[in-house]
Amino acid sequence: MADTFDCQRCPGYCCAYPVIVVTKRDVERIARHLEITPQDAESRYCRAAHGYKRILKRQDDEHFGRICALFDTETRTCTIYKARPATCRDYPGERCGYWDFLTFERDGQQDEDYISTTWHKED
Ligand code: SF4
Ligand code: SF4
C-alpha cells in the first residue's frame, strides 16, 4: 500500500538487514540488468553465510553500520531497483514497522529528515 510507507523518504533500513537471501534466478536478473555475467554478479554481490548458500554482500554505511552492497549510500536508494531480488520486492507487505516508527520519531522531533538507527524489528 503506497500510502502506508514511503521508501523514497526512508534511509533504507530494510536494506541493512544482515541476511538477505537471493536465488540463482535473482542473480541472473541482476546480471542482465548490470550487463555483466551471472558469475560476475555472484562473486561481486553474493556470498555464502549464516547457513545460506547465497546472501547479498554488504558495505559500510554511516547510518546503519553495514548495508547491502547494491545500495547507493549517497542517494539512499537501490542501484538495481527494477531488477532487485524477489525478497526485496515482497518486503514489507502492507505496512512497514520501521516507517511507522520513523514517522512517529520525525513528528516528535519536528524534523522530517531525521534518521533513526535504534528501531528493531520484532519477530
Ligand atoms: S524500511 Fe520500510 S519504508 Fe524504509 S525502504 Fe524499507 S520498506 Fe521502505
Ligand atoms: S538489492 Fe536493493 S532493495 Fe534489495 S537489499 Fe539491496 S539495495 Fe535493498
Cell (9 digits) for 53: 548458500
For 63, the 3-state DSSP assignment is: coil
Question: Which of 54, 51, 59 minimizes the C-alpha distance to 27?
Answer: 54
Residue 122's pLDDT is: 55
* Residue of 33, 78, 82 to mutate, ligand 2, most atoms within 8 A of C-beta: 78
For residue range 68-106, what is the model confidence (pLDDT) as tens digits? 999 999 999 999 999 999 999 999 999 999 999 999 999
What is the residue with the minimal CA distance to atom 6 of ligand 1? 14
How many CB atoms sit inside 10 A of residue 80's CB?
A: 19
- Give yes or no for residue 5 having a pLDDT over 50: yes
Residue 112's pLDDT is: 93
Question: Which of 86, 77, 92, 73 minimizes the C-alpha distance to 30?
Answer: 86
Residue 119's pLDDT is: 78
* Residue of 3, 10, 75, 112 to mutate, ligand 1, most atoms within 8 A of C-beta: 10
What is the residue with the minimal CA distance to atom 4 of ligand 2? 88
Residue 2's pLDDT is: 47
Residue spans per domain, the chain: 16-91
Q: Average of pLDDT values for 12-22? A: 97
pTM of the model: 0.93
Q: Average of pLDDT values for 8-21? A: 96
Residue 1's pLDDT is: 47
What distances in angstroms separate CA 1 from CA 16, 88, 89, one per listed residue?
Answer: 22, 15, 13
Cell (9 digits) for 106: 520525525
Amino acid (one-letter) located at 105: E
Q: Is the CB of 99 under 6 A from ligand 1?
A: yes
